């Protein structure tokens, strides 16, 4: 593996901190209001879509690892909802609240990633020696 640039190291730290915060938030919500097997289950799909790509980003610290994480998270989420979740049902019925909230989580992950990179782009433009 190649050496990471200072920007990639900072991105890697951010990704792990963001993912850990997401794990803590999910754990706190599960312990208080409950997420799984309740009417709040759509929140778990949103949080999965938002935070899981950053675990992959934390592993590599490079943009490619974020995009791989986003693609794998989307594949897992939509594959589960459109196929796996349907295997134990007598008729094909979709949980649109879970599908849409997971999609919103993926979009929120992408927006968070963009905001993080724009932070670096603005600071690089302000200080070309960075």
Q: Which residues of 73-107 are buried (b: 16+ CB within 10 A; e: fewer)?
A: bbeebeebbeeeeeeeeeeeeeeeebbebbbebbe
Q: Structurally, how many domains does the chain consist of?
A: 1
Distance CA 12, CA 8 (A): 6
Distance CA 70, CA 107 (A): 10
The domain of 95 spans 6-117
Residue 127 maps to a domain: no
> Which of 120, 80, 84, 125 lies closest to 103 in space, CA to CA?
80
Residue 40 maps to a domain: yes
Q: What is the pLDDT of residue 16?
A: 96
Q: What is the pLDDT of residues 102-113, one digit of tens each?
A: 999 999 999 999
Residue 123 maps to a domain: no
Q: What is the pLDDT of residues 55-79, one digit of tens each?
A: 999 998 889 999 999 999 999 988 8
Q: What is the pLDDT of residue 128?
A: 57
Q: What is the pLDDT of residue 24?
A: 96
CA 110 to chain centre: 8
Residue 122 maps to a domain: no
Residue 52 maps to a domain: yes
Q: How many residues does the chain have?
A: 130
Which CA distances in Å does 10 have to 17, 58, 66, 94, 113? 11, 10, 14, 40, 13
Which residues of the chain have a pLDDT value below 50?
A: none
CA 66 to chain centre: 9
Residue 95 maps to a domain: yes
Residue 25 maps to a domain: yes
Q: What is the pLDDT of residue 101?
A: 94
Q: What is the pLDDT of residue 126?
A: 60
Residue 130 maps to a domain: no
């Amino acid at each position: 593996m190649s050496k990471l640039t200072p920007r990639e190291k900072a991105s890697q730290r951010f990704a792990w901190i963001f993912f850990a915060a997401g794990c803590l938030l999910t754990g706190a919500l599960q312990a208080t209001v409950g997420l799984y097997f309740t009417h709040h289950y759509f929140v778990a799909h949103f949080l999965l879509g938002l935070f899981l790509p950053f675990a992959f980003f934390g592993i590599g610290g490079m943009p490619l690892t974020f995009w791989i994480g986003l693609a794998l998270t989307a594949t897992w989420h939509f594959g589960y909802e459109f196929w796996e979740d349907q295997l134990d049902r007598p008729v094909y019925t979709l949980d649109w609240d879970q599908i849409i909230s997971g999609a919103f989580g993926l979009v929120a992950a992408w927006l968070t990633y963009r905001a993080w990179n724009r932070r670096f782009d603005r600071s690089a433009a302000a200080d070309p020696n960075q």
